[in-house]
Amino acid sequence: MIDTHTHIYENEFAGDLLETLARAESAGVKKYVFPAIDSESYGRMISTQKLMPGKAFCCMGLHPTSVNEDWEREISFVREKLQERCWVAIGEIGLDGHWSREFMDRQMELFREQMIIACEMDLPVIIHVRDATDELYRVLDELKGMSKMPRGVFHAFSGSYGTYLRLKSYGDFYFGIGGVVTFKNARVAETVARMPLESLLLETDAPYLAPVPNRGKRNEPSYLLYISQKIADIQGTDVETVRRITTENAERLFEFDKFV
């Protein structure tokens, strides 16, 4: 399996990263995608990736919750780092109206800019959206009008089947499914039941959003076991098929072989 969205470079893992990776290895997790957040977490991301050559792949981008008073300095940092080395994707980028809407116009502008950069660099995007669906549609409609749309993934997807169909209509997009699918009464479970496996990627978003039976605790990559099993149960298929197809999807989207 591939954990296509994990922040194991964060301080939550500083004390037991090697043990965490050993558990992931036994669970069958072979690769990791590290989405960037901002300049503050950059050093941790890069130094952790160096411990895991050929297994961990870093992205570059400005997270929407880090679009604040410092946005100009942060986006310059991203532009500069994009020139310095190879990245597996642009991300995570997007829109977040949950924590604050103060910088929503700026979030939309920087999301649009980073989507266009991804097209120009021929890189996939990792998109974070929370409580900003209307704004998301506005940016995507505008990009579609400019005929610029990168391939990518809507990470931590939790929408309805209608939302899935609309987002899918914008282009070559996958949908990242994580711990939320295991929660009691999760709406996304009904959506996943109707989505083809060919649209799905596995992700943990560790250390956040741990699946049942560890809900509320620190999440970690080995918990892809629970997430993939839940998807198999929902779809009435065997877990090996879920793991194989979602791994193929991740390989197709991120083209890891180009980077090792």
Contact positions vs Zn ion (CB under 5 A): 35
Among 94, 78, 91, residue whose Cα is nearest residue 33: 91
Question: Which residue lies nearer to Zn ion by CB, 117 or 126?
Answer: 126
Residue 63 or 112 having the CB closest to Zn ion: 63
CB nearer Zn ion, residue 9 or residue 234: 9
Instruction: Find the shortest distance in angstroms from Cβ 92 to Zn ion.
Output: 5
Q: What is the largest CA-CA distance in the chain?
A: 49
Q: Are 4 and 33 in contact (CB under 8 A)?
A: yes
Under 8 Å CB-to-CB from 254, ≥6 apart: which residues? 4, 33, 57, 88, 89, 124
Between 35 and 211, CB nearer to Zn ion:
35
* CB nearer Zn ion, residue 58 or residue 234: 58
C-beta of 67: minimal distance to Zn ion in Å?
15
Which token pair is 18?
């090697």
Q: Residue written as tokens 């999807």?
A: 249
In the complex with Zn ion, the residue whose CB is nearer, 234 or 254, is 254
Contacts (Cβ under 8 Å, ≥6 apart) of 65: 96, 99, 100
Q: Based on CB atoms, which residue is closest to Zn ion, 126 or 234? A: 126
Burial class (CB in 10 A: 0-12, 13-18, 19+), 62: buried
Helix (H, G, I), strand (E, B) or coil at 90: strand
Identify whether the C-beta of residue 198 lies closer than 8 Å to the C-beta of residue 244: no
Task: Locate 260 and state its tokens.
Answer: 């090792």
| Lookup: tokens for 235 | 């779809």
What is the smallest separation between the CB atom of 7 and Zn ion, expressed in angstroms? 6
In DSSP terms, 14 is beta-bridged to none
Residue closest to Zn ion when measured from CB atoms:
35
Q: Running DSSP on this structure, what letter comes out for residue 94?
A: E
